[in-house]
Amino acid sequence: MPLLIGIALILALLIKTFLVQAFSIPSDSMQDTLQRGDRVLVDKLTPWFGSTPERGEVVVFHDPGGWLEDQKPAEPNAVQKFLSFIGLMPSAEEKDLIKRVIATGGDTVECKKGGPVKVNGKALNEPYIYPGDSACDDMPFGPIKVPKGRIWVMGDHRQNSLDSRYHQELPGGGTVSNDEVVGRAFTIAWPLNRIDWLGIPGTFDQKGLNGMGAAGTAAPVAAGLAGAVPIVLWRRRRLTRPSDAVEGTDLTREG
């Protein structure tokens, strides 16, 4: 029995470190795609093989610095620290956020008051934005050229998300380094009545969007693994309807 328990713990740690990690949504910044209390599964495998974030993906990333400076994480006890270390419960110490990738390295992104978000001059149709919200009226921006190796992220609840727009005075100009990205949230796993895939909206497939930018793509070795690893297959799945729809880490505490 001790041997079996030890093997199970090692497997749990390996899965959490290299494959999939669960996160809990503690705020409303990604509504209606994600609701407070949802548990999402994050693909941590493909980044190990050279995959970079793509437009439209919902990603979990470490605080780039200053995004959550006013948020003090809860102090866990010894049992909580151990269970979070092996991935069996969320971590209360790490500072991670969850947002949607709008633009990637090389893209030019902008949004004027009353208008849509534009990437490389192409207007985005964003059915995932929270009902009643504008695309950016609370914080217009740009045009901004996203540096190579970085991404521009925004919450789906635009008027309740302190995203890239609100951190332009920080190093990186509000963008997030690809190295800070934990992985892509590919499914809502809990509660049961909310189970759903998190695909990439069709607006990011529109013709000409790549004209001036360079979307992240997987390295050839990752493409080869895609045929064998279900998680990678899920990561390329596109939405077939508007999206109405972590405590692996306490995400988006900014609200």
19: exposed, middle or buried (Cβ count in 10 Å: 0-12, 13-18, 19+): middle
Q: Which residues have a catalytic role annotated?
A: 29, 99
Burial class (CB in 10 A: 0-12, 13-18, 19+), 98: buried
Q: Which of 158, 162, 153, 160 is nearest to 109 (CA)?
A: 153
| Rounded distance between C-alpha atoms, residue 102 and residue 151, angstroms | 8
Q: What is the 3-state secondary structure (H, E, C) of 184-211?
A: EEEEEEECHHHCEECCECHHHHCCCCCC
Residues in contact with 130: Cβ distance below 8 Å, sequence separation at least 6, in sequence order = 31, 32, 156, 157, 158, 159, 160
DSSP symbol at 238: B
User: Is the Cβ–Cβ distance between 29 and 157 less than 8 Å?
Assistant: yes
Tokens of 31: 């509504």
